[in-house]
């Protein structure tokens, strides 16, 4: 809903403007004034999205009013109303920040064009504002009270956090746009990376149980963790509640286990006693090049982590400490932290995580071999990229590529990071969505499932979610936008 205050000293003209506005369901008049001073008071009190103001009014005229509004109410935009004789005057006012102008007498056609333009502009601004608020909260930055109240106008809200797979990766968060859910009024924004979504919705829209069922029905290609508050929160509490969601997530994220948790009902676990990874034994077998025994040692440790349902951040703490000591003893000076972080982000279960750690150790052992130097070349990278280019339409995986080129996953991960700046998964997703966009542009009538298959994604719902993640809109919206 877009809120408006109307400032017009002529009662008949003011009523006509209100009648025009009421024809458009997305707009609502929340205040009116017959002079500039009263209009400024109304705007400061109600914080509307728009001020419709006449140029000529008693007391403070429209020019001064707009100036004051822009200085004191920076979240309110303005539209100038003027007689034809003041047209040039109105145009000069536009340069000071007004979005548009209306000439008296206002024609229905002119008003329709203006309102359609304003609706798109204000909705985009609201989306960007909410996204900015979410981002600030996630980064523990301060958010103005007035900004919260304006862009979260309902009295009470529900909120939930859903994370697919594991810990956030180290790749910089792309410039993802806020996503509008298929459910109107359900706002969603990506969190610290593209595998995380934060939802905030008004109490009146749906209850927590309905939200949980709606999210469970959506396709998930891996394990996920869903956190919710059973009870509603006030607008002022939104920042602290979001921080509580993130803090709770770090405490309860378990590799390979799907969980739906209401924070008020969360059970506190007793302290988990787990033996640390046996660094000395691993080093002994590394020097003997006995990777079968190393695999057994790691599998024993990770099996215990899994049985105890150790939170993933604790597993990473133990692994980081062990790998730091092992790498030092092996004189492995190269920084593999990117690969380790990606491993803890994308591993689907403890076995994948365990195999990846073993892969890392083997990479350290082999790092000075001639072949390793060879694969770090641009020539080798171009060979890999050619293979990806020729096969991205198939259900391609990093493991398949590694087997094809006889290298470890850590090497391949480093290769993509070095030459593309992103992980293999991100690169492949972007490549497929880029190709999908070209297909949609050339044939807007194709079914989503057919386009998904053409770019190597068998599940059309998963494809749609990836498309939204990268493009900030659904495939249908993309086709509609490009048809226009």
Count of structural domains, the chain: 4
- Is 88 in the same domain as 167? no
Concatenate the DSSP letters of all residues of 347-416 into one string. --SHHHHHHHHHHHHHHHHHTTSHHHHHHTSHHHHHHHHHHHHHHTTS---HHHHHHHHT--HHHHHHHH
Which sign does the torsion angle of CA 29, 30, 35, 36 carry? negative
Tell me how far apart the alpha carbons of residues 427 and 390 are, in angstroms, rounded to a whole number.
14
Q: Does residue 37 sit within a domain? A: yes
- Is 163 in the same domain as 252? yes
Q: Which domain holds residue 90?
A: 2-122
H/E stretch holding 106: none
Q: What is the mean pLDDT of residues 61-68?
A: 80
pLDDT of residue 267: 72
Concatenate the DSSP letters of all residues of 138-174 into one string. HTT----HHHHHHHS-SSEEEEEEEEESSS--SSPPP
- Each residue of 257-274: pLDDT tens digit? 999 999 988 776 656 677
Q: What is the mean pLDDT of residues 38-44?
A: 88
- Is 392 in the same domain as 476? yes
pLDDT of residue 114: 87
- Is 52 in the same domain as 96? yes
Q: Is residue 223 within 8 Å of 164, Cβ to Cβ?
A: yes
**Weakest mean pLDDT among 20-34, 128-142, 233-247, 435-449:** 128-142
CATH number at residue 467: 1.10.10.60
**Weakest mean pLDDT among 59-63, 176-180, 244-248, 291-295:** 176-180
- Is 176 in the same domain as 224? yes
Between the ranges 105-119, 194-208, 296-310, where is the mean pLDDT highest? Answer: 296-310
Q: Is residue 55 within 8 Å of 104, Cβ to Cβ?
A: no
pLDDT at 316 over 80: yes
Tell me how far apart the alpha carbons of residues 164 and 348 are, in angstroms, rounded to a whole number.
9
Q: Does residue 146 sit within a domain? A: no
Helix 337-346 with 350-366: angle, nearest 10 deg: 160
- Is 343 in the same domain as 439? no
**Weakest mean pLDDT among 49-58, 122-131, 441-450:** 122-131
- Each residue of 146-199: pLDDT tens digit? 777 777 778 888 989 999 889 886 554 444 444 444 445 566 666 677 788 888
Phi then psi for 177, rounded to 5 degrees? -85, 160
Phi then psi for 169, rounded to 5 degrees? -80, 180
pLDDT of residue 367: 61
- Is 304 in the same domain as 201? no
Last residue of a domain, which of 321, 339, 368?
368
Tell me how far apart the alpha carbons of residues 461 and 220 are, in angstroms, rounded to a whole number.
9
- Is 7 in the same domain as 116? yes
Q: Does residue 82 sit within a domain? A: yes
Q: Does residue 272 sit within a domain? A: no
Last residue of a domain, which of 204, 230, 265?
265
Measure the CA dihedral 204/206/207/209, to 10°.
180
pLDDT at 41 over 70: yes
CATH number at residue 102: 3.40.50.2300
- Is 245 in the same domain as 301? no
Q: Does residue 159 sit within a domain? A: yes
pLDDT of residue 89: 65
pLDDT of residue 287: 75
Q: What is the mean pLDDT of residues 345-374?
A: 74
Report the predicted TM-score, pTM, of the whole model to 2 decimal places.
0.64
pLDDT of residue 406: 67
Last residue of a domain, which of 344, 368, 392?
368
**Who's near 376: CB < 8 A, 6+ residues apart?**
414, 415, 418
The candidate with the shortest Cα–Cα distance to 32, out of 55, 59, 5, is: 5
Q: Does residue 257 sit within a domain? A: yes
- Each residue of 377-406: pLDDT tens digit? 777 888 888 888 888 888 788 778 877 776
- Is 332 in the same domain as 383? no
- Is 297 in the same domain as 335? yes
Q: Is 227 helix (H, G, I), strand (E, B) or coil?
A: strand
- Is 388 in the same domain as 362? no
Q: Confidence band (pLDDT; 50, 70, 90) for 219?
A: confident
């Amino acid at each position: 809903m877009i809120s408006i205050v109307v400032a017009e000293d002529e009662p008949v003209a003011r009523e006509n403007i209100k009648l025009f506005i009421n024809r458009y369901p997305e707009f609502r008049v929340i205040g009116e004034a017959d002079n500039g001073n009263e209009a400024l008071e109304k705007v400061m009190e109600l914080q509307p999205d728009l001020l419709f103001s006449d140029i000529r009014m008693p007391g403070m005229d429209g020019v001064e009013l707009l100036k004051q509004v822009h200085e004191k109410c920076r979240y309110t935009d303005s539209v100038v109303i003027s007689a034809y004789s003041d047209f040039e005057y109105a145009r000069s006012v536009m340069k000071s920040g007004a979005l548009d102008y209306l000439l008296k007498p206002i024609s229905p056609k002119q008003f329709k064009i203006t309102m359609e333009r304003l609706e798109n502009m204000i909705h985009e601004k609201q989306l960007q504002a909410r996204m900015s608020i979410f981002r600030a909260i996630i980064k523990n930055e301060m958010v103005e009270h007035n900004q919260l109240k304006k862009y979260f106008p309902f009295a009470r809200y529900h909120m939930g956090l859903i994370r697919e797979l594991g810990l956030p990766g180290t790749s910089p968060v792309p410039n993802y746009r806020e996503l509008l859910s298929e459910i109107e009024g359900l706002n969603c924004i990506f969190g610290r990376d593209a595998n995380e979504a934060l939802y905030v919705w008004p109490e009146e829209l749906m209850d927590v149980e309905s939200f949980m069922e709606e999210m469970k029905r959506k396709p998930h290609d891996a394990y996920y963790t869903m956190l919710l508050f059973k009870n509603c929160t006030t607008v002022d509490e939104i920042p602290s509640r979001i921080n509580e969601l993130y803090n709770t997530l770090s405490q309860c994220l378990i590799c390979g286990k799907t969980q739906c948790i209401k924070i008020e009902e969360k059970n506190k676990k007793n302290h988990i006693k787990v033996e640390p990874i046996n660094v000395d034994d691993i080093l002994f077998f590394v020097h003997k090049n006995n990777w079968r025994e190393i695999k057994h040692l790691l599998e024993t440790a990770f099996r215990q982590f899994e049985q105890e349902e150790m939170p993933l951040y604790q597993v990473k703490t133990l692994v980081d400490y062990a790998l730091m000591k092992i790498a030092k003893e092996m004189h492995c000076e190269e920084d593999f932290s990117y690969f380790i972080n990606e491993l803890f982000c994308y591993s689907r279960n403890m076995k994948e995580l365990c195999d990846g750690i073993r892969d890392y150790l083997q990479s350290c052992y082999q790092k000075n071999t001639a072949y390793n130097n060879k694969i770090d070349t641009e020539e080798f990278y171009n060979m890999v990229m050619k293979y990806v280019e020729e096969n991205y339409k198939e259900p391609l995986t990093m493991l398949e590529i590694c087997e094809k080129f006889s290298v470890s996953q850590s090497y391949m991960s480093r290769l993509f990071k070095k030459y593309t700046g992103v992980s293999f998964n991100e690169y492949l997703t972007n490549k497929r969505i880029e190709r999908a966009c070209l297909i949609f542009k050339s044939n807007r009538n194709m079914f989503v499932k057919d386009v998904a298959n053409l770019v190597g994604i068998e599940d059309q719902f998963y494809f749609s979610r990836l498309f939204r993640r990268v493009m900030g809109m659904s495939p249908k919206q993309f086709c509609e936008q490009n048809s226009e």
